[in-house]
Each structure stands twice: as structure tokens, then as C-alpha cells.
Structure 1
Amino acid sequence: MWIPIQINENSAEPLYHQIETQLRSLIVSGQIDEGTLLPSIREFAGSLNCSVITVRRVYQDLENEGLLRTRQGTGTFVASVGAGERNEYRRIVVQEAVEVAVDKGISVQYGEDELKQLFLRILKKKYSEAEGGRKSK
């Protein structure tokens, strides 16, 4: 199975973290279904051009979170993810992104009202664009 993971070798973020974050997102968002057999550690490492140790760590971390299940002799499978877990993950991802944006605004002395206005303007624009994209399909 091919898994759409994009690695940025120029990023300061560790390789295992890039892979883990993207794989977690694919599982929690439902893009990889419950019960799906994932590639073997060796196969996945080969497709990502990284070490087996890196992929082993990703699989172990996600198994510790309850997102993966490994069955001796059969492989690693995607575990069941409840609706509550999906919603919490979505909230955390968006919250982290907003926090980064606010931190950047504060670092360049953007005022609270300026940030609110900018956020609302961008929000309106993006939802308008998304709505336009749905109508044209």
C-alpha cells in the first residue's frame, strides 16, 4: 500500500516526527481506514528512503497512542478511531496553527484588534473560495 507522506529533508523537524505527524493525520481523518494493513517497517522505510529504525519508532509511537495494532506474523494494522478522538485531533491541529499565527502577529507588534480583523477577513475569503470551488464541481 502506498501512503502519501511528504518528507522535507531541509526541515529542522526530525524525520520520524514528519512521518508520524502525517501518518497520524491520515489515520485520524479517516483517509486510511480502520483495519488497513500498513506496509512492513522495511518496505515503508524503503519507500521513504529512511532507516528502518525511524519507521519502527513511528509505528511504536502510534501503537502506544492506540492508533495502530501489530499482530505477530501478520503485520501492523490501523486501529479503530472514535468520532471523539477525530474531533479532538482536528481541534488540536487547528488550535496549534492559530497559536502559531497569533505568536507571529505578536512578534511583529500586530495589535489584538488588527489580528482579529485580519483573521476575520481571511476566514471570510477562504470560506468564500471554498464555497465557490464546491459550486463549480
Structure 2
Amino acid sequence: MKLPIRVSEESREPIYHQIETQVKSLIVGGQLPPGTPLPSIRVLSNDLQCSVITTRRAYQNLESNGFIKTVQGKGTFVKEVETIKMEETKQKVVIDAFVKAIEQAEQVGCSSEDIRRIFKEVMENKRNGG
């Protein structure tokens, strides 16, 4: 199974964290239901063209935080995640995305009012199927 995730060398965020965040998003968003087998560390690192060490770190963090489990000799699978943890994770993912977007907007010189206006336009476009 090939995971629909992308990593960016240009991002200030470490690659292992990019992998971890995107896998969490796929789990809490329901695209990776409990029991879904995940690619091996070696396969995923090959798909993303990053080191095995980087991918292993992402998987270790996901496992220690209760999102995935590794079964010796069988592979790595999505774990059943508690509803409260799912909701907390969804909120954190969205907040982190907003923080990054706001930081980028400020870097290019947008004011708070510009950011609000752009956000409203984007939301309106999404509602209208754009």
C-alpha cells in the first residue's frame, strides 16, 4: 500500500515530523481505518526518498503515541484510537496548519485583516465547490 503523503526538503519542519503528522491526519480523518496495514519502514523510506532512520523515527513516535502497532513478523498496522484522542489530534492538526499559514502570510507582509479576508474568501470558495 502506498501512502498518499509528501515530504518537503524545503520545509522547516523535520521530515520525520512531516511523515508523522500526515499519517496521523490520515488515521484521524478515517482514510486509514484500524487494522490497515502500513508499508514497511524500508518501503516507505524508499517511496518518500528519505532515510530509513527518518522513517523509523516517525513510526516509533506514532507507535509510542498509540496510533500504530507493530506485530513482530507480520508488519505495522493502524491501531484503534480513542474518540477523545481522535478529536484532540484533529484539532491539533488543524491548529498547526493555521499557525503555519498565518506565519507564511505574515512573512509576505499580510496584515491580520488581510489574513481574515483571505480566509473568508477561501472558505466561501470551498462552500461553492471551488
Give the shorter-chain TM-score range: 0.7 to 0.9
1:130 paired residue number: 126
- Give CA-to-partner distance per residue, 1:64-109, whole Å, 9 cap, x none: 000001111111000012332222122223333444527965xx69
Deviates more, 1:16-25 or 1:65-74: 16-25
Distance 1:10 1:95, change over 3 A: closer
- Cα deviation for residue 126 of structure 1 reads 2.6
| Counterparts in 2 of 1:109 and 1:54: CA distance versus 1, 3 Å | closer
| 1:45 is aligned to 2:41 | no
User: What is aligned with 1:90?
Assistant: 90
Change (3 A) 1:127 1:2: same
Aligned residue pairs, count: 129
Unaligned runs of 5+ in 1: none
SS at match of 2:69: strand
Report the 3-state secondary structure (helix = DSSP H, G, I; strand = E; otherwise coil) of the residue aligned with 2:35: coil
- Under a length normalisation based on structure 1, what TM-score does the superposition of the two structures give? 0.76
**Counterpart residue identity of residue 94, structure 1:** V
TM-score where L is the length of structure 2: 0.80
Q: Which has the higher contact order (CA 8 A, sep 6+)?
A: 2
Unmatched runs of 5 consecutive residues or more in structure 2: none
Based on CA coordinates, which of the two structures has the bigger radius of gyration?
A: 1
Q: How many Å separate the matches in 1 of 2:74 and 2:126? A: 42
Alpha-carbon RMSD: 2.7
Deviation at 1:12, TM superposition (A): 3.0
